[in-house]
Each structure stands twice: as structure tokens, then as C-alpha cells.
Structure 1
């Protein structure tokens, strides 16, 4: 946990050092719709359904110019996925991650009001799994267990994830923001890579509201 906090602080300070004008700070949160993407070397890729989760993100907005900013931050992200087979066996995972994103954002002024912008951005993130739950439902019976993070054969998921964020939305002159995003995990989450056959990655749609102070 100390490493996560140090990395987040370093990202915030690093973003501020690039600023050409006053650095602002923002807070946003909302609904996440996560799922897993599976890629199999042999056979058909299993299809997973989305679950409903949440996210909360604190970030700095450090202007690089009148239209571009860098936004490092720290985020609490709910992820996971759901799988239902032909026998109506349902397996669901809900996980919680601390993420450190660094997004590069372009702001395009709109004529609808003073200071109102359309923003579009993208950037990398590093994620660290902190908790999670497996839920297996069959024949109206439900079984739950905690998720273990690590890279040993007995673990459920790797504890570190790297990926790319894409985001867009509107920033009002008052500082109020509405946005949507897509997180694309690049790390194979299976401990040990399961022999190198296939790949399991995070995919997350998110919708948020917030305020830039």
C-alpha cells in the first residue's frame, strides 16, 4: 500500500511540474460496467457479461497549454465479470483495485457557455488488486469465496494490472464535469499465464459526474 501511495504522490507532483498555469484538482465518481475479455489460442473465446460496480477518482489538472492538460491521479476501481454457461451455471467476480492513471487531455471550447469545454483524452494506468469476491450460483444455491491476488498457481488473479484509459465528456464553466470512459487492460490476469495458452484481461465502461475545483 505504501508503494501505491508514493507512486500516486509522485504522479501528482510530476504532473504539476509541467504546468504553465494554476493546477486544479478534481474529484469524480460514478457507475462502472466491467467485464473480462478472454482470448483462447485453441477453441472459441468464452463470452462474459458485464457486472455493475463503481469508481471514485481524485486527480490533478495541470495545463500544458491553453488546450492541453496532463491529469495524473489515484482511483478506486470496481471491476470483474460474469459468465453464464448453457446449464445456467453462473460464475461472477467482483474485484476492487487501486489505480494510478496519467491521462493526456485535449479541451475544445464550446460556444454554449463561458469556460465550457468538450474534453477528450487517453493515457496509461497501473492497477493494484486489493480485494475481491467469487460468487458461484447453480441450482439456486450460491457459494462465495474471497479472491486471492498473486502469481502463484493457487491464486485467482494477478495482483498488478497495466492498461490504457480513454475518456471524454463535458466540463462546464462552473467546474462541473460529465464524462464517460473505457479502460482496456493489457495484462494477462491469470497467475503464471496458465501455461501461455490464451489471455484474460479487464475491460471497463464507466460513466461519471464530478467537479474540478
Structure 2
């Protein structure tokens, strides 16, 4: 984890040094998550959550920018079938590293990797009428990797809107929990924010 954070810091410093005369902009964003998991699982439904955090937009050229972010993100999934109901809440500290291409004035196309650090994990519900509320953090991997794809529109005043999909690449569960099965995060985000 320390190596990952060191790499991010070095990349951030390197890009900052290459930034053009246009000013670096700081901002904040928040919005809604439409969460699920994908992979070797069946019967899961979307769970709505939220995200909130900060960002820095670093211009590289007139059309390109680099935007690292630090976001708290409430994710997870839910299941309702055959007498079993559960809501699984996964809280992450996500670090998206977005490359942005401004295709037109104010309109950007975005893509980049994301590292997520698991903060907490809880599953609650009923199994054949018996309630349960379990901390399942020890069943999940502490770090999650994914790719983000999205688009955004920014007004001259600094207000912006974004839509983004996070495609999870790594199995979120420990191997001894689900064996050879693989389950990844799948999150669609709608955000509103402001840049200074």
C-alpha cells in the first residue's frame, strides 16, 4: 500500500511540474452511487449509495488535463430471494486518477485507473426470518482496483456535472471465502461539484 501511495505522489508531482500556464483548480464533488457487484454471483440487485470528496484539475495542454481525486464512496449490493434478504454496505476511500480530454468547450471525456481502500463492510438482513447484522470486513480484500470511464460538463462559473462508470478489476473477496469464484465492484456515479 505504501508503494502505491508513493507512486501516486510521484505521478502527481511530475504532472504538476509539467502543467501549463493555465492555473491548477481545486474542487469538491458529491453525488449518488448506483452500486452492484458482478462476476460469479447471481441474484444481486442494485444498492443506492453516495460519494463525496475533493479533486485537483491539473491542465496539461489546452485540451488535456489530469485530475486526481480523493472520494469517500458508499458501495455494495443487496439480495432478496427464497427467504433470504441482505443489504451489504461496503465503504471505500477511492483514489481515481483521471485523464480528461476536452472535446468541446466545457465538455470532457474522462478515463483512468482507480485504487480503493476498504474502510468498513457490513451485511444485515434476515435469513428464513432470523435477523443478522455482521461485520464482514475480514472477508474482503483491503484494496480494490478498477477502471473509470465517464464524461462531464463544466460551466464557466466553476459548477460541473459528471457521469462515470467504475469497472472493478479485482476480486473483492478473500480466496478462502468464496473459493475460485470472483466478484468485482460495479458502480455508476452521478456527481455535481464546484471548482475554484
**TM-score scaled by length of structure 2:** 0.88
1:128 and 2:129 matched: no
Match of 1:55 among 51, 54, 64: 51
Task: Give 1:27's aligned residue.
Answer: 28
The structure-2 alpha-carbon separation of the partners of 1:14 and 1:76, relative to structure 1 and needing over 3 Å to count, comes to farther
Correspondence for 1:206: 189
Alignment of structure 1 residues 1-213 onto 2, 5 Å: 10=10, 12-21=12-21, 22-39=23-40, 45-85=41-81, 87-110=82-105, 117-139=106-128, 141-148=130-137, 155-192=138-175, 197-213=180-196
Deviation at 1:127, TM superposition (A): 0.8
Unaligned runs of 5+ in 2: none
Distance 2:167 2:32 in 1: 16
Higher strand share: 2
In 2: Cα distance, 1:7 partner to 1:91 partner: 38
Superposition CA RMSD, Å: 2.3
Structure 1 unaligned blocks of 5 or more: 40-44, 111-116, 149-154
Per-residue CA deviations over 1:125-178 (Å, capped at 9, x if unaligned) read 111101121112245543212222xxxxxx321111011011212100111001
Q: CA contact under 8 A between 1:63 and 1:70: conserved in structure 2?
A: yes
Question: 1:189–1:95: structure 2 CA closer, same or farther, 3 Å change rule?
Answer: same
Residue range with higher mean Cα deviation, 185-194 or 89-98: 185-194
Contact kept in structure 1, 2:110 and 2:150, CA below 8 Å? yes
Distance 1:47 1:7, change over 3 A: farther
Q: Is the 8 A contact 1:8 1:100 kept in 2?
A: no
| 2:170–2:184 contact (8 Å) kept in structure 1 | yes
Aligned in 2, Cα 1:138/1:195: closer, same or farther, shift over 3 Å?
closer
The alpha carbon displacement at 1:109 in A equals: 2.7
Residues 11/69 of structure 1: CA separation in 2 closer, same or farther (3 Å cut): same
Q: Distance in 2 between matches of 1:144 and 1:195?
A: 20
TM-score relative to the length of structure 1: 0.82
User: Does structure 1 conserve the Cα–Cα contact (< 8 Å) formed by 2:165 and 2:188?
Assistant: yes
